[in-house]
Amino acid sequence: MAIPDKVASTRLMHHAHAAPSLGLGRSWHLFRSFQREQTDPQGTYRFQASDTAALIARYRPLAGSVAVDVGGGPGYTAEALREAGASAFTIDADFDELSLHGRTPMGAVVGDGLRLPLADGSLDLVVTLNALEHVPDPWAFLTELVRVARPGGTVFVGVTNWLSPWGGHETSPWHYLGGERAARRYEARTGQPPKNRYGRSLYPVGIGSILAWAEHNPDVDVVDAFPRYYPRWCRALVRIPGIREVATWNLALVMERR
């Protein structure tokens, strides 16, 4: 499936070409940050959150926006959005996730992403990063994100698709041989079960199905879709069925509420 023609509009072409910072240097620094995740989680996630805020700012002004990060754990992304001038808070279904790394995030709410405790059309910006693959019904989750965005508001989704090299999270790349087999191998090797267990807290989602859902949703326009961590010249990857499922690594999908 190709990306909808809406992406080729004049406004979107401006966004695609007016960001020289989306080059190889940015990708290099992002992947270096992943290598430091275990030794410096706070530094890693602060850097990635700042990068996300800069990405979102390409699509809407952050200053004065009311925003939520759904599934945001200890609140790094909401913090970066506040630093950019937004009024932002975090919602996560798991209380323990909110307090990771010894943090107490400002304005955190314990809430189910499948039933967000928010009014229809109440937010300028709705963000979720690497949470979609952890919910049993991704389509209901996406529908909730759209529901709470106001008309003209932005929904920014980052997702690790199942067939990417990191699709199995800590069990990667053995997830290519099956999610449950990868989990058993991880447990045999480490002596403990993986945090992200296939079929319980980790579910397979594909780029093609996500883009198809967005394209056919009457409540949104697709603004952009691209490999979130890659340089801008890799954008065409998401237009190639099959290859995109393995090569994209992490999809960024930007939608606007109609």
Query: pTM for the complete prediction?
Result: 0.89
pLDDT in the model for residue 229? 94
Higher pLDDT, 64 or 17: 64
Three-state secondary-structure class, residue 49: helix
Which amino acid, 169? H
For residue 4, the model assigns a pLDDT of 44
What is the pLDDT averaged over residues 234-241? 96
Give the pLDDT confidence of 170-228 residue by residue, as tens digits: 999 999 999 999 999 999 999 999 999 999 999 999 999 999 999 999 999 999 999 99
Q: How far apart are CA 122 and CA 124, in angstroms?
A: 7
Q: Could you report the per-residue pLDDT of 85-136, keeping only the tens digit for each?
A: 999 999 998 877 777 777 777 788 899 999 999 999 999 999 999 999 999 9
Q: Which amino acid is at 102?
A: G
pLDDT at res. 35: 78
Residue 189 pLDDT: 95
Q: Is the dihedral of CA 169, 200, 251, 67 positive or negative?
A: negative
CA distance 232 to 211: 19
- Distances in Å between the alpha carbon of 99 and those of 5, 81, 121, 232, 251? 42, 19, 28, 34, 26
Helix (H, G, I), strand (E, B) or coil at 159: strand
Q: Span 5-163+204-257: which CATH code?
A: 3.40.50.150
Q: What is the pLDDT confidence band of residue 21, given thresholds at 50, 70 and 90?
A: low
The confidence score (pLDDT) of residue 156 equals 98
Average pLDDT over residues 1-8: 41
Domain ranges of the chain: 5-163+204-257, 164-202
Q: Please state whether beta strands 66-70 and 123-129 pair in parallel, antiparallel, or not at all (unpaired).
A: parallel
